[in-house]
Amino acid sequence: MSDGPGEGRAAGAAGEAEDAGAGPGAGGARDGAIPVLALEHVSKSFGAVRAVIDGSIELFGGEAHALLGENGAGKSTMVKMLAGVHQPDGGRFLINGEPVVLGGPADAIDAGIAIIYQEPTLFPDLSVAENIFMGRQPLRSGRRIDSKRCIAAADALFAQLGVRIDPGRISRGLSIADQQLVEIAKALSLNARVIVMDEPTAALSAVEVARLFDVIRALRADGAAVLFISHRLEEVFAICQSVTVMRDGRHVLTAPLTGMSAAELVRAMVGRDMPERIPGEKRAPGEVRLKVERLTREGVFTDVSFEVRAGEIVALSGLVGAGRSEVARAVFGIDRYDAGAVSAGGRRLRKASPTSAMAAGIGFVPEDRRQQGLVMEMSVQQNVALASLSTLRKAGLIRASAERSFASDWAVRLSVKYGQLTDPVSMLSGGNQQKVVLAKWLGRQPSILIVDEPTRGIDVSTKADVHNLLDRLAADGIAILMISSELPEVLRVADRVLVMREGRLTAAFSQAEASAEDIMAAATGQVEAQAQ
């Protein structure tokens, strides 16, 4: 976070770094301490794909260690080896200096390793409390589950995280952020010696992130080792003491964070300097492209009205669960709304009809790429082409050559990393999957683009690419509605910022007047800024 509430965090980061310098595990030497957990020169291939070629990492008690790398660098694969999900093809796995073989996730849990996976792994039909304690529920006499204690313990965990989720509700329908929080609670509940967090903050907004960091500090104080993966460098500086960087499946560097600069890290990750933001020539916004009037879906959002003009980027900001995604879904026609109207390009859209929205030139990049964005078994090529099939056919038949060149064209433009266009998209890393979803919608050349958390799980350099891309699209006259939980992103990209709280629009700022403090205040309800 560059400014605004990030200031406080930056101060914290500085403090952390000092801690780290003084702490026992800090520094490159670490004075011969034995790492609680270590992977030494491990490798892992999936068929012909070499996900990790030479990876090494060491975790020490009482230390938060960052693992950085571009999308597809092999971070999650390292995590899955730590978790016992994958067995390394080569190299050594050490616990307290002893080589071990984990037969499966159960072995990792028994060894005191807790994992927060990049993609939430919840049981949608079970209650939140059961999700947290599955297989480890507190028992009473006769080995029966003590569900009261189960709920109470879950409540306590949520209190620790400072969130309000009903442990008794089933987890189907939880927003991505709430799912992520449940995952965090699950990992905490294990009281593990090692906690691995694969992009835990990707779906969280500043408030939750701050709480999570408090928790991580408490864990460290208790002597636990934390592995923290994030594409937000400011978070890494705020919470971690040391860092390992990977590139293309290989270990690049391991070092204490003190004295390192963001630019150095980026260089290590991408092997070059971070792309500068190219300020697009700002044009005055054109005619109104998207008009949302008094949109209401009972119990979810109420009376939401706004406009997006051609060439304008409007950000929808707010806390997680404020109902932003729900508005976007209703606009695109995924959900019904109870009252109000949506028009695009002057034409009123039919309710609950994505086809009508698409015909009016709307494109929609949803927040959950695995569930909503991608057909996992289909190839990269087929996913990119999925929304544009009508333009790729001749005499009713899909032209294979047109589809291929269309897909490779867009994959190149967004620098998607893939083996073959015909590989299933499930083989791609998270960030590259996100790019495929973007490519799918940009390929339709929409006049209105709704992007929900467009950079969730995207690495720093690509994120900058995406921001530049959004700028350029706006400069080309596209109207863009962007939902983002990342304040720096909102402040950097948006021409106008709308803030939602509890299903209502509570504030609107122009780029000039938007500040992180004001946006947070409106999002949390400390002030009711007047709408423009």
By CB under 6 A, name the binding residues for ligand ATP: 46, 49, 51, 69, 71-77, 118, 173-178, 300, 318, 320-326, 367, 427-431, 457, 459, 485
Assigned token pair, 247: 């590139």
Restricted to residues 323-362, the positions that interact with Mg ion (CB under 5 A) are 325
Is residue 218 involved in binding another protein (CB under 8 A)?
no
CB of 424 to another protein, least distance (A): 5
State residue 300 phi and psi, 5-degree precision. -120, -55
Q: Which is nearer to another protein, 427 or 494 (CB)?
A: 427
Beta bridge partners of 127: 170
Restricted to residues 131-190, the positions that interact with another protein (CB under 8 A) are 134-135, 137, 139, 143-145, 151, 155, 164-170, 172-173, 178
Q: What is the DSSP string of 379-409?
A: BHHHHHHGGGGGGGEETTEE-HHHHHHHHHH
CB of 76 to Mg ion, least distance (A): 3
From 100-108, 193-201, 236-244, 488-496, span contacting another protein (CB under 8 A) = 100-108
Q: Which is nearer to another protein, 104 or 223 (CB)?
A: 104
Q: Which is nearer to another protein, 241 or 381 (CB)?
A: 381
- Calculate ∠ Cα 107-75-102, nearest 5°: 15
Q: Largest alpha-carbon pair distance within the chain?
A: 72
The torsion angle over the Cα atoms of residues 281, 282, 287 and 291, rounded to 10 degrees, is: 120
Which position among 43, 118, 205, 432 is part of the footprint of Mg ion (CB under 5 A)? 118
CB of 321 to ligand ATP, least distance (A): 4
180 binds, among another protein, ligand ATP, Mg ion, none (CB under 5 to 8 A by kind): none
Restricted to residues 328-347, the positions that interact with another protein (CB under 8 A) are 334
Alpha carbons 10 and 216: distance in angstroms, whole number: 16
74 binds, among another protein, ligand ATP, Mg ion, none (CB under 5 to 8 A by kind): ligand ATP
Sign of CA dihedral 200, 206, 212, 213: positive
CB of 316 to Mg ion, least distance (A): 9
CB of 101 to another protein, least distance (A): 6
Which position among 333, 430, 443, 446 is part of the footprint of Mg ion (CB under 5 A)? 430
CB of 319 to ligand ATP, least distance (A): 7
465 binds, among Mg ion, another protein, ligand ATP, none (CB under 5 to 8 A by kind): another protein
Please classify residue 504 by burial: count the beta carbons closer than 10 Å to its beta carbon, then call 0-12 exposed, 13-18 middle and 19+ buried.
middle
From 14-22, 57-65, 259-267, 392-400, span contacting another protein (CB under 8 A) = 392-400
How far CA 379 is from CA of 37, 326, 433, 511, in Å, comes to 37, 29, 11, 40
Alpha carbons 323 and 181: distance in angstroms, whole number: 17
Is residue 401 involved in binding another protein (CB under 8 A)?
no
From 18-26, 98-106, 256-264, 473-481, span contacting another protein (CB under 8 A) = 98-106
State residue 378 phi and psi, 5-degree precision. -85, 160
CB of 51 to ligand ATP, least distance (A): 3
From 113-121, 180-188, 200-208, 474-482, span contacting Mg ion (CB under 5 A) = 113-121
In the block, residue with structure tokens 């409390």? 129
> Residues with Cβ < 8 Å from 24, sequence gap 6 or more?
31, 33, 62
Residue type, 325: S
Based on C-alpha coordinates, what's the Rg of the chain? Answer: 23
From 12-20, 28-36, 236-244, 418-426, span contacting another protein (CB under 8 A) = 418-426
Restricted to residues 8-37, the positions that interact with another protein (CB under 8 A) are none
Q: Pattern 273-312, binding to another protein, x per CB under 8 A?
A: --x----------------------xxx-x----------
| Closest to 508 (Cα-Cα) out of 316, 292, 295 | 316
Q: Which is nearer to another protein, 187 or 238 (CB)?
A: 187
CB of 472 to another protein, least distance (A): 9
Q: Which is nearer to ligand ATP, 50 or 217 (CB)?
A: 50
Restricted to residues 350-389, the positions that interact with another protein (CB under 8 A) are 354-355, 357-358, 364, 366, 371-379, 382, 386-387, 389
Alpha carbons 439 and 406: distance in angstroms, whole number: 10
Find the helix or strand (DSSP H, E) in which 304 lies: strand 301-309
Beta bridge partners of 171: none
CB of 458 to ligand ATP, least distance (A): 7
Paired sense of beta strands 242-247 and 250-256, if any: antiparallel
Is residue 122 involved in binding another protein (CB under 8 A)?
yes
Q: How many residues bind Mg ion (CB under 5 A)?
A: 5
Q: Which is nearer to Mg ion, 249 or 256 (CB)?
A: 249
Alpha carbons 207 and 319: distance in angstroms, whole number: 8
CB of 445 to another protein, least distance (A): 14
Alpha carbons 330 and 334: distance in angstroms, whole number: 6
- Calculate ∠ Cα 37-41-43, nearest 5°: 105
Is residue 406 involved in binding another protein (CB under 8 A)?
no
Q: How many residues bind another protein (CB under 8 A)?
A: 100
How far CA 495 is from CA of 285, 361, 418, in Å, comes to 9, 21, 34
CB of 286 to Mg ion, least distance (A): 28
Paired sense of beta strands 393-394 and 397-398, if any: antiparallel
| Closest to 516 (Cα-Cα) out of 497, 500, 502, 530 | 497
Is residue 462 involved in binding Mg ion (CB under 5 A)?
no
Binding site for Mg ion (CB under 5 A): 76, 118, 325, 367, 430
